[in-house]
Chains A and B, each alone.
Chain A
Amino acid sequence: EDKVVQSPLSLVVHEGDTVTLNCSYEVTNFRSLLWYKQEKKAPTFLFMLTSSGIEKKSGRLSSILDKKELFSILNITATQTGDSAVYLCAVEVGGTYKYIFGTGTRLKVLA
């Protein structure tokens, strides 16, 4: 059965801290992994990862994929209260463009 597991489920940090969110997966014919940030409503796209070892970076956020060990991490440095959100990881199933989502990591950044 295809599955995506994120950890931790929930995380509380203070502004300025660095956080690392994990996403591990077991899917048939992996094609891509996506990270999303979800605040009040619709998730917003962060990164798409398809190749191992190549870091994607956007400001204070970065992500990398390990296709051998079947996981990805999302790093956020110098966290701000605006980073508080649920971070979702999604993996494409079998080249079908369908994505299975993990349960998400709920991040709260305290001022």
Chain B
Amino acid sequence: GAVVSQHPSWVICKSGTSVKIECRSLDFQATTMFWYRQFPKQSLMLMATSNEGSKATYEQGVEKDKFLINHASLTLSTLTVTSAHPEDSSFYICSASRDAGGYGYTFGSGTRLTVV
């Protein structure tokens, strides 16, 4: 149980375009999901907390207008990187917990974004 699916696994896009990444909890409902970013050989950096039915909470330094998060249902959160630039190239990964953290968090498989 506690499977989180993330799509796409990798994407290459042109500068200036927008990219949407989906994170789904397949066998449980998640009122809260988290979005992380990871640069090569670095740790996961929390970008934002996605709350079902309300606005996301962004970490300091993360542009909310650039990284749009929508958590429209209990099983789906989306991260849209708007007007992407090469410096946005990174590994984006979501996580969710089936019981608000009691059994730890499950990560999606991640999305490698390359902006050219």
Contacts from A to B (Cβ < 8 Å):
31-32, 34, 36, 41-45, 47-48, 88, 90, 92, 96-104, 106
Within 8 A of A (CB), among B29-70: 32, 34, 36, 41-46, 49
Partner of B44, one of A44, A88, A97, A106: A88
Complex interface: chain A residues within 8 A of B97 (CB): 97
Partner of A103, one of B6, B42, B100: B42
Check A100 against B46 for contact (C-beta < 8 Å).
yes
Contacts from B to A (Cβ < 8 Å):
6, 32, 34, 36, 41-46, 49, 93, 97, 100-101, 103-110
Check B101 against A97 for contact (C-beta < 8 Å).
yes
Check B100 against A97 for contact (C-beta < 8 Å).
yes
In the assembled complex, how far is the CB of residue A44 from the closest CB belonging to chain B, in whole angstroms?
8
Check A45 against B105 for contact (C-beta < 8 Å).
yes
Complex interface: chain A residues within 8 A of B93 (CB): 42
Check B100 against A99 for contact (C-beta < 8 Å).
no
Complex interface: chain A residues within 8 A of B109 (CB): 41-42
In the assembled complex, how far is the CB of residue A17 from the closest CB belonging to chain B, in whole angstroms?
23
Check B49 against A101 for contact (C-beta < 8 Å).
no
Complex interface: chain A residues within 8 A of B110 (CB): 41-42
In the assembled complex, how far is the CB of residue A101 from the closest CB belonging to chain B, in whole angstroms?
4
Complex interface: chain A residues within 8 A of B42 (CB): 103
